[in-house]
Amino acid sequence: MTTKRIIVSWVLLLSFACVAFGQSPEQMFERANSLYQQGKAAEARDLYESIVQNGFVSSDVYYNLGNAHYKTGNIARAILNYERARRLMPSDEDLRHNLQLANLLITDRIETAPRLFVWDYWEGLKDMFSTRTVTWLAYLVFVALVVLVALVILARTYRLRKAGFLASAATGLALIALLVVLSAKIADDRRTDEAIVLATITTVKNSPDSKSSDAFVLHAGVKVQIIDSVSDWVKIRLADGKVGWMEKTAAETI
């Protein structure tokens, strides 16, 4: 099948899904919200899942889906969707609060390995704004820089040229800083090496072999970093530095 046919088939499939429901994605989302508010969390969850499976995703869809899973008792999937929403709206206080509550309900308590305080500041800086916000800020600062450079070129007095030069230098540094943050945000958004354990319980091995010795045991809801992959196994690292191999099916990437 050609690429063009694949794309056409995919579009037709999405269209059929929407027609089958008789609703647009926006209407489906509002319907799911209404069901959730009526206390029908399971029905709302299924409708949110349909929206996501049909490719219509947003921070609000992921966040509400996380809430629906939380209400129906699937804490691991609640955490998975909260984490997906956090990539799109990292500074949302309600999301942070709900994610913290969900993490208090899982079995395993993984302590983060000590690291330099500058990394905490860096992570905090990145989480202050969404990728979209940083993009707009960078664009506005770039426009301001162009205006200031034009002012320096066109200024007729030494004082005005000096002021324009200092202002443009400061603006240029701000633009560089924003571009660094933006590149880091984009890299984070595209990460495929983070996952949430969904299996109720999984035994992590010392090598990618079911007959290998056990390293440790994990329960649903734990966040892991995938650092390698072999056949049906993935090598993971925990926040505390522990490393081991587990089956791919035990977790789902964020």
Q: Taking residues 170-185, what's their average pLDDT? A: 94
Question: Is the distance from CB of 205 to CB of 187 less than 8 angstroms?
Answer: no
Nearest to 220 by CA among 62, 138, 105: 105
Specify if 110 maps to a domain.
no
User: HEC string of 191-216?
Assistant: CCCEEEECCCEEEEECCCCCCCCEEE
What was the pLDDT predicted at 156?
86
Q: Taking residues 128-134, what's their average pLDDT? A: 86
Residue range 231-253, pLDDT digits in tens: 999 999 999 999 999 999 999 99
Q: What span, in angstroms and rounded, lies between the C-alpha atoms of 43 and 148? A: 56
- Asked if 171 and 204 sit in the same domain, the reply is no
Question: Is the distance from CB of 51 to CB of 14 less than 8 angstroms?
Answer: no
**How many Å is the Cα radius of gyration of the chain?**
24
Helix, strand or coil, per DSSP, at residue 242? coil
Q: Taking residues 114-134, what's their average pLDDT? A: 81
- Asked if 64 and 100 sit in the same domain, the reply is yes
Helix, strand or coil, per DSSP, at residue 206? coil
Residue 50: give its domain's CATH number.
1.25.40.10
Specify if 109 maps to a domain.
no
Query: Which of 69, 104, 139 is the C-terminal boundary of a domain?
Result: 104
Residue 205: give its domain's CATH number.
2.30.30.40
Q: How many distinct structural domains can be found in the chain?
A: 3
Q: What span, in angstroms and rounded, lies between the C-alpha atoms of 214 and 216? A: 6
Specify if 111 maps to a domain.
no
- Asked if 136 and 175 sit in the same domain, the reply is yes
Domain that holds residue 240: 194-253
- Asked if 158 and 204 sit in the same domain, the reply is no
Chain-centroid distance of CA 12 in Å reads: 28
Structure token pair of residue 236: 């993971």
- Asked if 57 and 17 sit in the same domain, the reply is yes
Residue range 13-72, pLDDT digits in tens: 444 444 444 578 888 999 999 999 999 999 999 999 999 998 888 999 999 999 999 999
Classify residue 220 by its DSSP letter.
Answer: T
Backbone angles phi, psi at 251, to 5 degrees: -140, 165
Specify if 112 maps to a domain.
no
Lowest mean pLDDT among 123-127, 152-156, 220-224, 232-236: 123-127
Helix, strand or coil, per DSSP, at residue 177? helix
